[in-house]
């Protein structure tokens, strides 16, 4: 098995984990193009059900926010060893230009700094030309330690 094939298989395994634990990532069809600690590229194909303006076929802003949130989260998650639960604290997104109808989006997210409890991430989204970003995002994440998980206590099944 050559190096490229090994890499493809590894990305497929990581995409499976990324989508099986996060149903909405699966619903959006997110796939890793690259997945390094603190630095990931995630691809999302254009689909008609993700459109925000039926006249122009432009994807809804919320789709880009989901892509940015998921990509930034993945960059943080892969950078924290051993793995810890994380949660988005805040996320800002700027829509520089409208993504073109029918074009897949790629989000490149880079973790700029990780402290014990907080991670800072920047992300760029493009629709085919990496030099013409359609959106820029920045986000910060909480990193949880010990048994405490973000949000409500999990319900105990009967």
- Residues of this chain that interact with other proteins (CB under 8 A) are 20-28, 48-55, 59-63, 65-70, 85, 87-95, 98, 149-152, 154
* Shortest separation between residue 115's beta carbon and other proteins, angstroms: 18
* β-sheet bridge partners, residue 111: 121
Count of CA atoms in the C-beta half-sphere (13 A) of 113:
2
The minimum distance between CB 94 and other proteins, in angstroms, equals: 4
Length of the chain equals 158
CB of 4 to other proteins, least distance (A): 31
Dist CA 41 CA 152 (whole Å): 31
Nearer to other proteins, 91 or 118 (CB): 91
Q: Which is nearer to other proteins, 7 or 109 (CB)?
A: 109
Cα 73–chain centre separation: 6
Q: Which is nearer to other proteins, 37 or 57 (CB)?
A: 57
Q: Kindly state the smallest distance separating residue 42's Cβ from other proteins, in Å.
A: 12
Residue closer to other proteins by CB (options 6, 92) is 92
Closer to other proteins by CB, 11 or 26: give it: 26
**Least distance from other proteins to the Cβ atom of residue 9, Å:** 24
């Amino acid at each position: 098995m050559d190096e490229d094939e090994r890499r493809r298989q590894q990305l497929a395994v990581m995409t499976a984990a990324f989508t099986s634990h996060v149903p909405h990532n699966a619903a959006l069809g997110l796939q890793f193009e690259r997945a390094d600690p603190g630095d990931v590229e995630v691809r999302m194909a254009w689909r008609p059900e993700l459109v925000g303006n039926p006249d122009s076929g432009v994807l809804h802003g919320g789709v880009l926010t989901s892509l940015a949130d998921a990509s930034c989260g993945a960059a943080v998650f892969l950078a924290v060893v051993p793995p810890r639960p994380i949660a988005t604290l805040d996320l800002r997104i700027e829509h520089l230009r409208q993504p073109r109808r029918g074009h897949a989006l790629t989000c490149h997210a880079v973790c700029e700094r990780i402290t014990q409890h907080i991670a800072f991430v920047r992300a760029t989204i493009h629709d085919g030309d990496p030099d013409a970003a359609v959106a820029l995002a920045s986000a910060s994440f909480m990193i949880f330690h010990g048994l405490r998980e973000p949000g409500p206590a999990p319900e105990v099944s009967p």
